A and B are shown apart, each in its own frame.
Chain A
Amino acid sequence: MNLRLRTRLALTVGAAIVITFALLGYLITFERNTRMRSVVKQIALKVLQMRADDLSAHLQRTQEACRRLAAQAQRSDQRLEPPGSTHPLTLDASAAGMRYADTLGGWISWTSPAQDRLHVCETPPMEQVPWTTNGRGPRDPQPAWLAPHIDEKASGTPVITCVTPVIKNGRVTAFVGIDDNAATLLPSMRSLIRLGVSEVALIDKDGTCLIIPTEAAGRARVTHNIDDVGREHHDIISAETPIEGTPFKVRAWASIASLESDEHSFLLQQTAIGAIAVAILLALTLIITRTLTQPLASLERAADRVRRGQFNARVTVQESRGELTELGEAFNTLMTELDTRYQALQVAAVERERAEREITLASEAQSSMLPRLDMVPPGIEASAQSISARQVGGDLYDLFALPGNRVAFALGDTCGKGMGAALLMVQTVTALRSIAQLYERPSQCIAHLNHLATAMAYSVPLTTLFYGIVHLDDGRLVYCNAGHPAPIIDGEIVRTPAQPSLGAVDDALYRDDEISLRPGSTVVLVSDGITEAPGQESRFVGLDGVLREVRDAGAGISARDLVERLLALSQTGDADFEEDDATVAVVRYRGPSTVLRVAPRVDAVEPVLARIDGCDLPPADRLRLRLAVEELLVNVIEHGRSATSIEVTVVNRFDGVGVRLEDNGIRFDPTRQVKAAAVNPRAGDEALETPIGGKGLTLARHSVDDLCYVRWQGLNRLDMFKSRSAGDS
Chain B
Amino acid sequence: MEMQTEVHGDVAVVNVSGRLDITTAPLLETALKPIIEGETRALVVCLRGVDYVSSAGLRVLVSCARALKHDSRPLFVTAVQPYVHEVFEVAGLLEVFNLARDNDEALQALTAN
Q: Which residues of A does B touch, CB under 8 Å? A: 602-603, 605-606, 609, 620, 623-624, 626-627, 630-631, 634, 681-685, 687-689, 692-693, 695-696, 698-699, 702
Are the CB atoms of A634 and B54 closer together than 8 Å?
A: yes
Are the CB atoms of B92 and A687 closer together than 8 Å?
A: yes
Q: List 19 A-B contacts (CB under 8 A).
A: A603-B23, A620-B83, A624-B83, A627-B52, A631-B54, A634-B22, A684-B96, A685-B95, A685-B96, A687-B92, A688-B65, A692-B55, A692-B58, A695-B55, A695-B92, A699-B54, A699-B87, A699-B90, A702-B90
Q: What is the 8 Å Cβ interface bit string for chain B, positions 87-113, against chain A (1 contact, 0 not)? A: 100111101100000000000000000
Q: How far is the CA of A65 from the CA of B69 in the complex (A)?
A: 187
Are the CB atoms of B55 and A693 closer together than 8 Å?
A: yes
Q: Which residues of B does A touch, CB under 8 Å? A: 21-23, 51-52, 54-56, 58-59, 62, 65-66, 69, 83, 87, 90-93, 95-96
Q: How far is the CA of A695 from the CA of B59 in the complex (A)?
A: 9
A-B contact count, CB below 8 Å? 68
Are the CB atoms of A623 and B52 closer together than 8 Å?
A: yes
- By a CB distance below 8 angstroms, the chain A residues around B66 are 688-689
Are the CB atoms of A631 and B55 closer together than 8 Å?
A: yes
Q: How far is the CA of A523 from the CA of B37 in the complex (A)?
A: 64
Given A687-B95, A693-B55, A630 contacting B21 (CB threshold 8 A): yes
Q: How far is the CA of A696 from the CA of B92 in the complex (A)?
A: 11
- By a CB distance below 8 angstroms, the chain B residues around A605 are 21-23
Instruction: With CB as the reference atom, state the residue of chain B lying closest to A623.
Output: B52
- By a CB distance below 8 angstroms, the chain A residues around B92 are 681-683, 687, 695
Interface of B, secondary structure class, is helix
- By a CB distance below 8 angstroms, the chain B residues around A698 are 90-91
Are the CB atoms of B54 and A688 closer together than 8 Å?
A: no
Are the CB atoms of B95 and A692 closer together than 8 Å?
A: no
Identify 20 new A-B residue pairs, CB closer than 8 A, beyond the known A631-B54, A692-B55.
A603-B23, A605-B22, A620-B83, A623-B51, A627-B52, A630-B22, A630-B56, A634-B54, A634-B56, A683-B95, A684-B96, A685-B95, A685-B96, A687-B96, A688-B62, A695-B55, A695-B58, A695-B90, A695-B93, A702-B90
Q: How far is the CA of A603 from the CA of B83 in the complex (A)?
A: 25
Are the CB atoms of B23 and A602 closer together than 8 Å?
A: yes
Q: How far is the CA of A631 from the CA of B56 in the complex (A)?
A: 8
- By a CB distance below 8 angstroms, the chain B residues around A683 are 92, 95
Q: How far is the CA of A602 from the CA of B69 in the complex (A)?
A: 30
- By a CB distance below 8 angstroms, the chain A residues around B96 are 684-685, 687-688
Instruction: With CB as the reference atom, state the residue of chain B lying closest to A627.
Output: B54
Q: How far is the CA of A698 from the CA of B69 in the complex (A)?
A: 25
Q: With both chains docked as a complex, state the minimum distance between the C-beta of A35 and any C-beta of chain B, in angstroms.
A: 130
Q: With both chains docked as a complex, state the minimum distance between the C-beta of B75 and any C-beta of chain A, in angstroms.
A: 11
Given A623-B52, A623-B83, A688 contacting B91 (CB threshold 8 A): no
Instruction: With CB as the reference atom, state the residue of chain B lying closest to A630.
Output: B54
Q: How far is the CA of A605 from the CA of B62 in the complex (A)?
A: 22
Q: Which of A606, A620, A687, A696 contacts B93 (CB 8 A)?
A: A687
Instruction: With CB as the reference atom, state the residue of chain A lying closest to B84.
Output: A623
- By a CB distance below 8 angstroms, the chain B residues around A626 are 52
Q: Which of A606, A688, A695, A699 contacts B69 (CB 8 A)?
A: A688
- By a CB distance below 8 angstroms, the chain A residues around B55 are 631, 634, 692-693, 695-696, 699
Q: How far is the CA of A624 from the CA of B54 in the complex (A)?
A: 10
Q: How far is the CA of A623 from the CA of B87 in the complex (A)?
A: 11
In the A-B complex, the 6 residue pairs with the smallest Cβ-Cβ separation, listed nearest first, are: A696-B55, A692-B59, A695-B91, A684-B95, A702-B90, A630-B54
- By a CB distance below 8 angstroms, the chain A residues around B21 are 605, 609, 630
Q: With both chains docked as a complex, state the minimum distance between the C-beta of B109 and any C-beta of chain A, in angstroms.
A: 19
- By a CB distance below 8 angstroms, the chain A residues around B95 are 683-685, 687
Given A634-B56, A692-B55, A627 contacting B87 (CB threshold 8 A): yes
Q: With both chains docked as a complex, state the minimum distance between the C-beta of A701 and any C-beta of chain B, in angstroms.
A: 9
- By a CB distance below 8 angstroms, the chain B residues around A606 are 23
Instruction: With CB as the reference atom, state the residue of chain B lying closest to A613.
Output: B19
Q: With both chains docked as a complex, state the minimum distance between the C-beta of A111 and any C-beta of chain B, in angstroms.
A: 176
A620, A623, A682, A688: which has the most chain B beta carbons within 10 Å?
A688
Q: With both chains docked as a complex, state the minimum distance between the C-beta of A36 and any C-beta of chain B, in angstroms.
A: 133
Instruction: With CB as the reference atom, state the residue of chain A lying closest to B58.
Output: A692
Are the CB atoms of B62 and A692 closer together than 8 Å?
A: yes
Instruction: With CB as the reference atom, state the residue of chain A lying closest to B92.
Output: A687
Q: How far is the CA of A185 from the CA of B54 in the complex (A)?
A: 168
Q: With both chains docked as a complex, state the minimum distance between the C-beta of B71 and any C-beta of chain A, in angstroms.
A: 15
Q: How far is the CA of A685 from the CA of B56 in the complex (A)?
A: 19
Q: Which of A602, A682, A689 contacts B22 (CB 8 A)?
A: A602
Instruction: With CB as the reference atom, state the residue of chain A lying closest to B83.
Output: A623
B21, B23, B58, B92: which has the most chain A beta carbons within 10 Å?
B92
Q: How far is the CA of A10 from the CA of B83 in the complex (A)?
A: 114
Q: With both chains docked as a complex, state the minimum distance between the C-beta of B20 and any C-beta of chain A, in angstroms.
A: 11
- By a CB distance below 8 angstroms, the chain B residues around A631 are 54-55
- By a CB distance below 8 angstroms, the chain B residues around A623 are 51-52, 83
Q: How far is the CA of A704 from the CA of B109 in the complex (A)?
A: 37
